[in-house]
Chains A and B, each alone.
Chain A
Amino acid sequence: MRVRLLDIAHARSGDKGDTANVGVIALKPEWYGVLERFLTQERVAEHFRGMISGKVERFALPNLGALNFLLHGALDGGGTLSLKTDAQGKVYSTALLRLVLDVPDADARGANLPGFAGDA
């Protein structure tokens, strides 16, 4: 089943130098496991390919039902150097929520995930 992150999670992002961080939080506690299993570092790196120049790191916060991603080289130099509208990475949050996961049907039904029929 295709599942759009926006439908199962919320997020907030910010900056540290040239690195943006995106915290992704499951909308329901029972959906955290899906994020934990399928929203991998590699999947997020693929999503942002061409938009960031460095690597992606992932940290888990099961206590908050959240994953924290560091997107290195995401801000065109960051801070005062950056020429970007989003120089401080404030809306990388919703950019990540555009991601559509492929979740095996059994897992998706088990967690009662909402399916996504639109374009990725």
Chain B
Amino acid sequence: MTNRVVRVASGQGFWGDWLEAPRRQVEGGPVDYLMLDYLAEVTMSILQKQKERDPKMGYARDFVGAVESVLPAVLTQGVRVIANAGGVNPVACADAILAMAAAKGAQSKLTLGVVTGDDLLPRLDELLAGGHALNNMDTGSPLASVRDRVIAANAYIGSVPIIDALARGAQIVITGRSTDTALTMAPLRHEFGWKADAWNQLAAGIIAGHIIECGAQCSGGNCLVDWRNIPDLADVGYPIVEANADGTFVITKHPGTGGRVSVASVTEQLVYEMGDPRTYITPDVVADFTSIRLTQEGPDRVRVHGITGAPATDKLKVSVAYRDGWKAVGSLVYAWPDALEKAQAADRVLRARLERIGLRFDQILTEFVGASATHGPLAGDAGKHAPEVEMRIGVRSSNRQMVERFTREIVPLVLNGPPSVTGFAGGRPKVEEIVAYWPALIDKTVVTPVVEIRQ
């Protein structure tokens, strides 16, 4: 057993995260790996829509700039980058990275590992015919019921192909729908040689991944406890895992950066998007969040220990994206006096008009931002005295024309509805196609990840 510490730094928590973070992570102090997580359920749908418009798209384009900003560290300090930036098109993502490197004169020095095999779309009918029903995990419905509207189907794959890419010398590993947590666990497993049945260590790696997969959300960002006094969020430090071979690790951040790593900040991230804490299921291991122990061992240093895991299941999760109609959301702002009453009156007028012209929707929702949009009736009557209230109304329908027509009915209210109205500078709202998410399970044996090394 080695006393070596391996440092994995988190540089992106989602597609859209702070562009400065990756570079700051490799320049702020020693790190061995830079982990960039770009994918959420919603992101895969967006990427799929982009790939439909242009077959060279479908990956997180921010990644190209991120790699460019850390290229010196990759080439000279040996920092290795692991990212699920490939989205629904890892090969195009790798092409873009190599093109960027070539433009910088660095292509010959760069080795990429590209992980594919998560894309089940080309095999979907064969899988369905073979008895893999891909029932919706929430509703139980068989995928056949929406098959003709499916535009993407990806299995969440685990650490093994990433480790393979690292073992074959990849300095940058690009995956598609790999699990967020595998991006952190894989380099630890690679470095420490954890076996496939080292359940406690694998679970620890997964939990380390869960803590840092949302970037600064564990190091002072979006932290409710003592939020006013969290130092210098303008200069917030993104998290770093300092891991040991036995599976214990410390969450910290670079010295001199803002934010805070505390038991409270780490705990908030641990419970984020949690289901049953005893069974956090991943392709590699089932982690038990009720085993986690946290100790503040110094300023901005939280030690995480005690973690246990159990054998993985024989399934992988599958995320299917399918077309599910159209939606549009529009808004107008009403000012004091009686802002809420005016906004409510406008909503009644608008709905009456929609009714009279015969528009029918699968769903119509009005919220009053400033009064009750986020906390509903729990917000009480504070909104009655609000200096302004935004009427925010959305509709959803399988009929695009109905939604299109709806978008034309909002702005007229500025002149022909209740008074003291503004905030319509954006004009008509945009009609958006809904790509909905269908979670399912599939037998592990039918999914084979593939690793390609490119230079």
Q: Mark B257-289, 1 if CB is under 8 A from A, else 0.
A: 000000010011111111111100000000001
CA A1 to CA B390, docked complex, whole Å: 38
Answer yes or no: A51 CB below 8 A from chain B CBs: yes
For this complex, 12 residue pairs linking A to B, each with C-beta atoms less than 8 Å apart, are A21-B274, A61-B290, A62-B290, A63-B290, A63-B291, A64-B289, A66-B267, A68-B277, A77-B396, A79-B45, A91-B374, A98-B378
* A59/B278 in contact, CB under 8 A: yes
CA A94 to CA B378, docked complex, whole Å: 10
Chain B proximity of A40: nearest CB distance (Å): 17
* B275/A94 in contact, CB under 8 A: no
In the complex formed, the residue of A with least CB distance to B435 is: A80
* B293/A63 in contact, CB under 8 A: yes
Chain A proximity of B208: nearest CB distance (Å): 16
* A83/B394 in contact, CB under 8 A: yes
State how many residues of chain B have any CB contact under 8 Å with chain A. Answer: 51
* A11/B224 in contact, CB under 8 A: yes
* B367/A12 in contact, CB under 8 A: no
CA A114 to CA B64, docked complex, whole Å: 51
Chain B proximity of A48: nearest CB distance (Å): 8
A residues less than 8 Å from B434 (CB atoms): 80-81
Known: A59-B278, A63-B291, A98-B378. A18 touches B271 (CB 8 A): no
Answer yes or no: A27 CB below 8 A from chain B CBs: yes
Answer yes or no: B8 CB below 8 A from chain A CBs: no
Answer yes or no: B377 CB below 8 A from chain A CBs: yes
CA A102 to CA B254, docked complex, whole Å: 44
In the complex formed, the residue of A with least CB distance to B365 is: A83
List 8 A-B pairs, minimum CB-CB distance, nearest first: A23-B271, A83-B394, A14-B273, A83-B365, A12-B268, A95-B375, A10-B224, A85-B373
B382-415 with Cβ < 8 A to chain A: 392, 394-396
CB < 8 Å neighbour of B392 from A10, A61, A85 = A85
Answer yes or no: A70 CB below 8 A from chain B CBs: yes
A residues less than 8 Å from B267 (CB atoms): 23, 25, 64-66
CA A93 to CA B306, docked complex, whole Å: 27
* B363/A76 in contact, CB under 8 A: yes
Q: Mark B228-272, 1 if CB is under 8 A from A, else 0.
A: 000000000000000000000000000000000000100111111
Answer yes or no: B57 CB below 8 A from chain A CBs: no
CA A80 to CA B380, docked complex, whole Å: 28
A33-70 with Cβ < 8 A to chain B: 47, 50-51, 59-66, 68, 70
Answer yes or no: A86 CB below 8 A from chain B CBs: yes
Chain B proximity of A72: nearest CB distance (Å): 9
B residues less than 8 Å from A78 (CB atoms): 437
* A80/B45 in contact, CB under 8 A: yes
* B41/A25 in contact, CB under 8 A: no
* A59/B277 in contact, CB under 8 A: yes
Chain A proximity of B209: nearest CB distance (Å): 16
